[in-house]
Amino acid sequence: MNCQESYTEIINQTIQTSQKIIGDKNDWDLLKKGAFLSIFAKKYDDTQAYIFKIQGEIPSNIDQITKFYFENNQDMAKNRQSCIGVEVLENLDQNTQISVIKAISVSTNKPVEFLTIRNRVFNSNQILIVNSKLDNHPKLQKNDQVLRSEMAVNFQLLKQKNQDNTYLEMYCLRDPKVKVEEEHLPKIAEILLKIYEKDVQVILQNK
């Protein structure tokens, strides 16, 4: 199997997982509402970890929101306090790129990197943007001083309501092996919602 076939297989697996998560409408608990978005959580499968869903309607067209989450990497990085930046290592095609997200760990204050394949899928009036874990890439050698981490779930679903409004769903889960206590959910929800509400503000400023 060549690299391109391997990348395609990884992306297809991620899309299948994403579609399964989107289709599961049960047991989501509302944690907090913001100006544009609301955040929900529930236990992930049979684990002690929680997956988060952020959803809402944004008064902006679908192309502008897609551009923010797929093309304007540096604008997105600026909205995340611990993120240093996003570097595109390789463009596989106009809808697929291999990127490294560079950050500083909040808990250890040490550098962390996330190596991902980012892909967007167009389907009628919807766009799905998925981020898949990648173990290695020739342009990013492993460094013992930098922790190579991953997001188990990280994707966005955009649905065009009309020319000026877009429905947005985002899902995120860092590590299904890490137990999260229920009493910590409100604080996590507050942090995540603040980030994504700030995303909306930047998107609207760039209209």
Burial class (CB in 10 A: 0-12, 13-18, 19+), 145: exposed
According to DSSP, the residues that pair with 83 across neighbouring strands are 103
Which helix (H) or strand (E) is 133 found in, with range?
strand 126-133
Q: Under CATH, which architecture does the 3-205 domain have?
A: 2-Layer Sandwich (3.30)
b/e per residue 147-179 (b: at least 16 CB within 10 A): eeebbbbbbbbbbbeeeeebbbbbbbbbebeee
Q: pTM for this one?
A: 0.92
b/e per residue 81-119 (b: at least 16 CB within 10 A): eebeebbeeeebeeebbbbbbbbeeeeeeeebbbbbbbb
What ranges do the domains of the chain cover?
3-205
- List the chain pLDDT tens, one digit each, 207 residues: 567 778 999 999 999 999 999 999 999 999 999 999 999 999 998 899 999 999 999 999 999 999 999 988 777 777 787 888 889 999 999 999 999 999 988 778 889 999 999 999 999 899 999 999 998 999 998 888 998 888 999 999 999 999 999 999 999 999 999 899 999 999 999 999 999 999 999 999 987
